[in-house]
Structure formats: C-alpha cells, structure tokens
Amino acid sequence: MQDVIKNTTFDELKVGATASIERTLSLQDIYLFAHVSGNTNPAHMPADGKPATADIVAPSMWAGSLLSAVFGTLLPGPGTLLLSQQISFRCGVHIGDTVIVSVRCAAKHAKPLATFETKILKRDGTVVAEGLAEINVPIKSMSLANRELPTLILDQKNQFLPLIDAARSLGRMATAVVCPDDSNSLTGAVLAAREGIIEPILIGVKAAILQAAEAAGVDVTPYRIVEASTHDEAASRAVEIVRKGEAAAIMKGNIHSDQLLAQVVKKEGGLRANRRISHVFVMDVPTLDELLFISDAAINIAPDLLTKVDIVQNAIDLALACGLEKPRVGVLSAVETVNPNIPSTIDAAALSKMAERGQIVGGIVDGPLAMDNAMDLAAARTKGIASPVAGQANVLIVPNLEAGNMLAKELTFVARAEAAGLVVGAKVPVMLTSRADNAKSRLASAALAALYDYRRRTGRSAFTAAKTAAE
C-alpha cells in the first residue's frame, strides 16, 4: 500500500488514462461483505460449522465494489464522487481467485464530469464484469497520507469442531450427569448424547429432572435415571457408578462444584489417582490459529511447586489428547526473569528445568514468561528471549487461581473467546461446566472428556489413531 495518495484533477486528467488494482478473494472478504451489506445468502457463504471451499462464489457486488477503491485512491483519486455505474456481470469470483480491477478514462465532459470504462478480469483473462461509470472528477489537487484502518477481528473458525468430530468417532462414553435438574445442564447433556459423544446417566431427584425436561422440551426417556434425594447423595452415587465401571466420566449439572469435587477427591471411595487434580480451560480465541490451554483457574487456589508439577503434566496430557504433537508450555509470571521477590518466577524456572530433566514429559516447558512474550513473537524478540516456547505458547500455566480465572474470563468476555474445560488428574475426567456455559461450550467439554479418556486408556490420541488408520 502506498504511503501517500494523490489525486488527478479534472484539468490534469487525460482521456485514455488508466489505473488498476489486484485483489484475491478470501473467506474473510465474504464475511466482511455480509456484515456491511446484510447479504447472508447461503449461496455465498459456507454452511454453519462447515469449512470453506473453493466452490463458494462471492456476491457479484463484492467485485463491483472494488471499482470504488480504484476511483477513490488511484484515478482520479481522493475527492472523486461516483454518480452512476452501469455494470454487466459475466462470471462469478470464487475463494482464492485473483481479480484485476481496472478503469480507463473514456471521455471528458463539462467540468467536472467524466466517463470511465470499467473492467474486472481474472488472471487468465476471463471477464468477470464490465461497464461504464459517470463520475465527478476532483477540481482541487489533494495529497494525503493513506489512512490506517481500525483492526477487524472475525471469529470465522470453530476450532472445537475437530475435537467434536474426533470424539464422535470414538462412540458414546457412559457419563454420570450429576443433578441435571435445570434447563442448561440437562440440555447440554442431551445435546452431547444426540451428537453421539456421551451416553448420559441422569442422577438426581427424578421428578425435578422430568420437570426440567418438560420445561426445556427435551425427551429423556431413552436415558437411565438414578434417584438421589440430595445433591451430596447424587455426587456420591455418581462416584459409586464410576467405581463400578458403569460410567467413564462425570458431568456437573445443577450442583456446586465444591459438593461434586468433595466426593471425587475423598480418600475412601473417591476417584483419586496418583496426581493432584486440576482444571484446564480450553479456549477458542478468535485471534489465534490454534486452541489455547490455560491451567489452573478453577481448583488449586495457591499451588506450591509440587502441585504445579501435576498441573503442568495434566495440561500437557489433555493437550496431547486434543491432537497437539508437542505442546509448548509457557509458565506465566509478571516478568520474564527470575526474581526472588516474585515466587512464581522461581517456580517457573524450576518447572522448566524439571521438564528438561524428564520430571515433566510430553511437552516443551519454559518460564518464567510474561503474557506478552509468551504469546507474541515480536515481544519475545524485543526482549531478547530465545526459546521454542516464547511467542508461541499454546499452553499457559498461571501462578494462581485468581490470575487464571481473570485471564480466562477476560478472553471470554472481552476477546469473545469460546471456553470449554475439564478437570483432569482423577481416575476419570470430570466436566465442570458452569451455569453460564452455552451449548457449544458444554458440547466441547464433553468432547474433551471423551478424547482425554481415550488417551488415558490407550496411550495415544484419537487424532493419531485416525491418521494411522487412514494410512
């Protein structure tokens, strides 16, 4: 893009003068045009949840609108007013097509009126559109800096879809759903069942579950209902069902997390394994090209170093289950250098060294890193940080629950990220969904549980298994 744009006045304009630009159609152009014009014709957009293909054709006026870029910035340039545009469209423009948009001064009339021939071609010479435009050519000379437009962020990629598809391929996972006696939790469980990810066992007050089903308009007759008169009893029954081998996961319904987790971690008859349990948020952030894992933001309030070792390993294991080949783990603090006055920097450095020595496996761990140089390569380079993690972390370990909770919620409510999550480290995965979670998040959390359970049982990810089977 040129730094300064200058116009051609009516007196300077010559008949036969030409100008042109090139533009390649992207999916982002399709969505931007739909937002601006209001045209959401399905003929011009991918179906919901489906990837874009080269068959998608842009609205004809997308190509026509490019003429204004030539008129307004090149010829005649700033100050030009379009009075009329006659245009005939010959063929469509598909995603990936590059078009050449050109204008030619055909005639000058009474000042400041001029006629321009317009033409839009594909690179192979195919005519997309052609016509005539009548414009008012600027009279006064203008020269100005090209404006830097505000940044636009389009959330055009559902990064949970591959997880859901992979989980669906594993078959239904028997899941103890604890107290699904409100609309959100019950519909979330039923949606995951309809998608073929879980086989729910509904545990709670049967009358309340049926009442919630009627209010939500969902049919729960295909599913087993286990009567439990209180929330504590429902959580205890869920753990008991898992211990008997009748379920491979637990899903939180309309019950406080503390009540459910108290039954999961109890010493006698619980689901403790050889690690501390921790929670991992999995975030679909519009500005990132891959999922972001954040831990621990929901269970361990102020973890010590040994607890952080389990938090890191749990997060790596979930990331591996989700198809990451070598998770890049950034251990966060306020600064990227070790400072004895900031204990989290010492923990971060220790975790990094422990990973080098094989005490944490499956990922690349580095820290301490501040948020900027963990996520942004330019920030890391500016501060002279040479690391395979800095600037490209896809797993973030926070110093404490407060920091993690704020980070996850800022991404959700400010950056418009979608969040799913899972409690890991117990004998089975626990879906600790929130009442604020939408159906998409609940479904993604169920997919996480299925993928994590598969890797826990087989030692490999469902993505690796699918790739091997295809080969």
Mind listing the pLDDT tens digit for each residue in 121-179? 999 999 999 999 999 999 999 998 888 888 777 766 789 999 999 999 999 999 999 99
pLDDT digits (tens, 9 = 90+) for 232-276: 999 999 999 999 999 999 999 999 999 999 999 998 899 999 999
Mean pLDDT of 51-75: 88
What's the rounded Cα separation, in Å, for the pair 451 and 405? Answer: 24
pLDDT at 466: 63
Say yes or no to pLDDT of 51 above 70.
Answer: no
The CATH number of the domain covering residues in 4-145: 3.10.129.10
Tens-place pLDDT, residues 89-119: 999 999 999 999 999 999 999 999 999 999 9
176, amino acid identity: A
Q: What's the one-letter identity of residue 239?
A: V
pTM score, two decimals? 0.80
Domain ranges of the chain: 4-145, 275-425
Q: Which residue has the higher pLDDT, 436 or 374?
A: 374
The pLDDT value recorded for residue 467 is: 61
Decide: 194 and 164 in contact? Cβ < 8 Å. no
How far is 147 from 119, CA to CA, in rounded Å? Answer: 26
Q: Say how far apart CA 429 and CA 448 lie, in whole Å.
A: 9
Contact 308, 397 (CB under 8 A): yes
Q: Please compute the mean of the pLDDT values over residues 325-350 and round it to a whole number.
A: 96
Enter the tokens of residue 236: 């205890």
Report the CATH fold assignment for 275-425.
Isopropylmalate Dehydrogenase (3.40.718)
Pairing outcome for strands 292-295 and 278-284: antiparallel
Mean pLDDT of 381-401: 95
